[in-house]
Amino acid sequence: MEIKWLVRIWTRYWPMFIRGAGVTLYISIISTIIGAAIGLAIGVIHTIPLPEKGARRVFLKVVNGVLSAYIEFFRGTPMIVQAMVIYFGSAVSFGIHIDRMFAALLIVSINTGAYMSEVVRGGIISIDRGQFEAAHAIGMNHVQTMINVVLPQVIRNILPATGNEFVINIKDTYVLNIISVTELFFQTKSIAGNNFRYAEAFFITSIIYFIMTFTVTRILRIFERKLDGPANYDMLGNQMQVQKPESMLGKDGGLVGRA
Amino acid sequence: MKNVIDIQHLSKSFGNNEVLKDINFSVKKGEVVCIIGSSGSGKSTLLRCINLLEKPNGGKIFYNGKNILDAEHNIYEHRTKLGMVFQQFNLFNNHNVLNNCTVGQTKVLGRSNDEAEKTAMKYLEVVGMGQYINAKPSQLSGGQKQRVAIARALSMEPDVMLFDEPTSSLDPEMVGEVLRVMKELAGSGLTMLVVTHEMEFAKEVSDRVVFMDEGVIAEEGSPEQIFNNPKEERTKEFLKRILKEM
Ligand SMILES: Nc1ncnc2c1ncn2[C@@H]1O[C@H](COP(=O)(O)OP(=O)(O)O)[C@@H](O)[C@H]1O
Ligand SMILES: [Mg+2]
């Protein structure tokens, strides 16, 4: 590896590197977000309490079965093989020619979704039953309970796993070069091939990958800390001492209930 | 006074375990009823059947004259009329104190944010937690959490409050602050159904005491009758045991 070549390749090809990195980031971000959404949806469906009997029970069981099969399949096969099957398969079997970028987003999102749904399910199960009960006790239904009480806690809990998945996606999108998506690895291959300088080109690329994953990890860490809010709370002034609690009871009818 | 809650031949099993057996029991408007009994006797299950957190296997529960076990009865609306306070507080961990008291009002009752906040503040003042509206549950002591939980339930302005051992998981020095709030509420004319091991409290505030044993109501009566002149042998035994512990 020669410094001279490092410099030469970078100065000549930096726009290509940057464009490749941009595509990699784009696919990773979109797919992580869509995948997390898929994961949340599946996690919620998986935790709907099964009715004791009836058509709804059968329906839910079928849906759960299909979703489990999806998860097992995508977790149990390499992404590079899925890419080939989906991209070339759709052309051969259905005669549809899907756009490379669309195929890329589809493949990575589905994979992320399969992985995240397990994370979300774990996240929902780990929420204390008391949270559900308290929500039900004030009259919330399953969806209201999920939206207002459970999912915000689940999302906070799965944030580290989501960030991790984002970083994994940045690194794993390279497999998409098999279907000629112009992400960073694909671009590097072209640059290296043009100059027969593989070591230098891929060294530059390794640094770009590292900068991306490192930055993303830091940003997520800061974001997590922001979400947790300040460690202390502000007490309000003692303004209510004017009115004794006892004087607020009963008199104005507030506490005696609505009936 | 008419019955707010009227329970007839209620039964509940978990698998083969018959937890409630032919319970007959009613609560009048404005009444404060304490339920006592040893652990596992079915007290929590009875409370949870009343707001349908558990589904009874048989019998009827009339709420203001309507059987809530009818298929067409709206269980979500029913639950808004009953405030529940749990032994483990169960404050919503993702909300601060104020939002714990407003989220049900806005999302379930459809109140405006302004109205919800006003109502929440009123009840947070009642329980003495008005200064803590920005705190998160994890930043509060057990006694403070339970007082917020009471304010959360009151904010829905229910007809009846159900308390399931509200002081049992508190450190001894915090029991007093919660009981004091509950005494105020009892004095205000609120209808209350309280499962408790605090015998002094039961003696002082209840209009009626119910003693449960192995899934049945073994005895009920005025506090004087239950504590000073229990008729049933098992009531006497229970009281002897629990008073010795204290
Ligand atoms: N969800 C449940 N599943 C199975 N058994 C339960 C459940 N809840 C309560 N039980 C059983 O029902 C009985 C009464 O419980 P509970 O009503 O909690 O009693 P108490 O509140 O008087 O201590 C106990 O034997 C308990 O093990
Ligand atoms: Mg109990």
In chain A, where are the structural domains located? 3-231
The two most distant CA atoms of chain A are separated, in Å, by: 89
Residue-by-residue DSSP string for B174-208: HHHHHHHHHHHHHHTT-EEEEE-S-HHHHHHH-SE
Is residue A253 very low, low, confident or very high in pLDDT (cuts 50, 70, 90)? Answer: very low
Q: Closest Cα to residue B208, out of B230, B187, B224?
A: B224
Question: What's the average model confidence in pLDDT over A197-218?
Answer: 94
Residue A248 has pLDDT above 70, yes or no: no
Q: Closest Cα to residue B144, out of B193, B187, B197, B91?
A: B91
Q: What is the pLDDT at residue A24?
A: 97
Cβ distance of B122 and A248 shorter than 8 Å: yes
Question: Could you tell me the two tokens for B165?
Answer: 């051992």
CB of B41 closer than 8 Å to CB of B241: no
Q: Closest Cα to residue A151, out of A42, A30, A32?
A: A42
Smallest Cα distance from A253 to chain B, Å: 9
Q: What is the whole-number distance in angstroms between the Cα of residue B188 and the centre of ligand 2? A: 26
Nearest chain B alpha carbon to A130: B90
User: Does the beta carbon of B94 lie inside 6 Å of ligand 1?
Assistant: no
Question: What percent of chain A clears pLDDT 70, i.e. is strictly above it?
Answer: 91
Q: What is the whole-number distance in angstroms between the Cα of residue B53 and the centre of ligand 2? A: 13
Residue B100 has pLDDT above 80, yes or no: yes
Helix (H) or strand (E) holding A34: helix A3-46
Q: What mean pLDDT value characterizes chain B?
A: 95
Q: Residue A14: count other Cβ atoms within 10 Å of its Cβ.
A: 12
Cβ distance of A259 and B133 shorter than 8 Å: no
User: Does the beta carbon of B39 lie inside 6 Å of ligand 1?
Assistant: yes
The protein residue whose alpha carbon is closest to atom 3 in ligand 1 is: B14
At B145-162, the pLDDT tens digits run 999 999 999 999 999 999
Name which of A130, A144, A259 is nearest B86 (Cβ-Cβ).
Answer: A130
Q: What is the pLDDT at residue A67?
A: 92
Question: Helices B142-155 & B97-107, crossing angle to 10 degrees?
Answer: 20
For residue A68, give every residue at least 6 positions away whose Cβ sits within 8 Å of its Cβ, in sequence order, or none.
Answer: none
At A13-64, the pLDDT tens digits run 999 999 999 999 999 999 999 999 999 999 888 888 887 778 888 999 999 9
State how far the Cα of B101 lies from the Cα of B129, in Å rounded to an integer. 11
Smallest Cα distance from A27 to chain B, Å: 31
Smallest Cα distance from B169 to chain A, Å: 14
Q: Residue B54: count other Cβ atoms within 10 Å of its Cβ.
A: 17
ipTM of the complex: 0.94
The protein residue whose alpha carbon is closest to atom 16 in ligand 1 is: B42
Helix (H) or strand (E) holding B12: strand B3-14
Q: Which residues of A touch B152 (CB under 8 A)?
A: 138
Cβ distance of B108 and A144 shorter than 8 Å: yes
Question: What's the average model confidence in pLDDT over A230-243?
Answer: 61
State how far the Cα of A257 lies from the Cα of B28, in Å rounded to an integer. 13
Which of A144, A255, A256, A258 to mutate: most B Cβ within 10 Å?
A255
Question: Could you tell me the two tokens for A58?
Answer: 């059968």
What phi and psi values does residue A41 have, to the nearest 5 degrees?
-60, -45
Touching check for A152 and chain B: CB below 8 Å? yes
Q: Which CATH class is domain A3-231?
A: mainly alpha
CB of A134 closer than 8 Å to CB of B92: yes
Residue B215 has pLDDT above 70, yes or no: yes
Name which of A236, A237, A258 is nearest B159 (Cβ-Cβ).
Answer: A258
For residue B172, give every residue at least 6 positions away whose Cβ sits within 8 Å of its Cβ, in sequence order, or none.
Answer: none
Burial class (CB in 10 A: 0-12, 13-18, 19+), A72: exposed
Question: What's the average model confidence in pLDDT over B24-42?
Answer: 96
State how far the Cα of B31 lies from the Cα of B223, in Å rounded to an integer. 13
Q: What is the whole-number distance in angstroms between the Cα of residue B38 and the centre of ligand 2? A: 9
More confident residue, A233 or A169: A169
Q: Closest Cα to residue B92, out of A227, A153, A142, A232?
A: A153
Q: Residue A58: count other Cβ atoms within 10 Å of its Cβ.
A: 11
For residue B31, give every residue at least 6 positions away whose Cβ sits within 8 Å of its Cβ, in sequence order, or none.
Answer: B1, B191, B192, B207, B208
Q: How many A/B residue pairs have CB atoms within 8 Å?
A: 131
Cβ distance of A259 and B4 shorter than 8 Å: yes
Q: What is the pLDDT at residue B20?
A: 97
Is residue B141 very low, low, confident or very high in pLDDT (cuts 50, 70, 90)? Answer: very high
Q: Which residues of A touch B133 (CB under 8 A)?
A: 236
Residue A239 has pLDDT above 60, yes or no: no
Q: What is the pLDDT at residue B239?
A: 94
More confident residue, A233 or B118: B118
Q: What is the pLDDT at residue A231?
A: 74
Phi-psi region of B158 (alpha: psi -120 to 50; beta: other; left: phi over 0): beta
Q: Which residues of A touch B190 (CB under 8 A)?
A: 255-257
Question: Could you tell me the two tokens for A67?
Answer: 């979703």
Which runs of E-coded beta strand occur in B114-236?
Answer: 160-164, 191-195, 208-213, 216-221
Residue A167 has pLDDT above 80, yes or no: yes
Q: What is the pLDDT at residue A96?
A: 78
At A143-160, the pLDDT tens digits run 899 999 999 999 988 888
Cβ distance of A254 and B157 shorter than 8 Å: yes
Q: What is the whole-number distance in angstroms between the Cα of residue A87 and the centre of ligand 2? A: 58
pTM flag (> 0.90):
no
The protein residue whose alpha carbon is closest to atom 5 in ligand 1 is: B14
Q: Kindly report the CA angle at A238 between A233 and A243, in degrees rounded to 5?
A: 135
Helix (H, G, I), strand (E, B) or coil at A232: coil
Q: What mean pLDDT value characterizes chain A?
A: 87
